Amino acid sequence: MEIIEKEQNADEPVDEMELVIGKIGKEAESILSMLEILEKLEQAGIIKLLKNISRSYLPTDVEFFGKFVSSKEFANGIMKLANTLVPVLYALSDERTSDIVKAILYNMPDISKDIVDTVTSGKKQTMLTMYSEIKSDRDFFNLITALLKALSRISKSIKELDYSDPLEKMK
């Protein structure tokens, strides 16, 4: 817009398309990079996903959307989300934690299959039969020990939480 005003002050006719094309020419490399990114997003189906989300979920009533975004509930939701995401990101920044999460997630199809197969088999087992099947499985016993230690640590952490009313503390 600044260029248009300067040219108009020179009392010459201004073709706005010439100015646009000139700016595009100067920024051609950046524009091509952005177009490549958009092309990759389109190939990955993200553009289509965003279109579907905007058609299906975004309200067409701008006033409602403005009230919702500025509402107390929305602000509380964002704060709760941030309060949850920060510790998750912190935990995932630890190499051991992220490796464990990745190991579980990469094996999730097999884990899910085992769960579904076990639940839908209809096979009844007593504790003694299960024990006899797993007593020689060293990995299973290591897992049980690790889970018990994790549960103990979680229990200690929960005991340290303060659920008292903050308004009562101010009195």
pLDDT of residue 108: 92
Residue ranges of alpha helices (H) inside the chain are 2-9, 16-26, 28-44, 46-56, 62-69, 72-93, 95-106, 108-121, 127-134, 138-160, 166-170
pLDDT value of position 9: 55
pLDDT tens, position by position, for the chain (171 residues)? Answer: 454 555 455 566 678 888 888 888 888 888 888 898 888 888 888 888 888 777 776 666 667 777 777 888 888 888 888 888 888 888 888 889 889 989 999 999 999 998 899 889 888 888 888 888 788 888 888 988 999 999 999 999 888 887 777 667 666
119: left (phi over 0), alpha (psi -120 to 50) or beta: alpha
**Buried b / exposed e along 33-66 (16+ C-beta atoms within 10 A):** eeeeeeeeeeeeeeeeeeeeeeeeeeeeeeeeee
pLDDT for the residue 30:
87
How many residues does the structure list for the chain?
A: 171
Specify the amino acid at residue 77.
G
Q: What is the pTM of this model?
A: 0.43
pLDDT of residue 1: 45
Whether 19 and 4 have beta carbons less than 8 Å apart is answered as yes
b/e 142-166 (16+ beta carbons within 10 angstroms → b): eeeeeeeeeeeeeeeeeeeeeeeee
- Residue 57's pLDDT is 67
Instruction: Give the residue from 147, 149, 127, 128 showing the smallest Cα distance to 139.
Output: 147
Residue 20 CA to residue 55 CA, distance in Å, equals 31
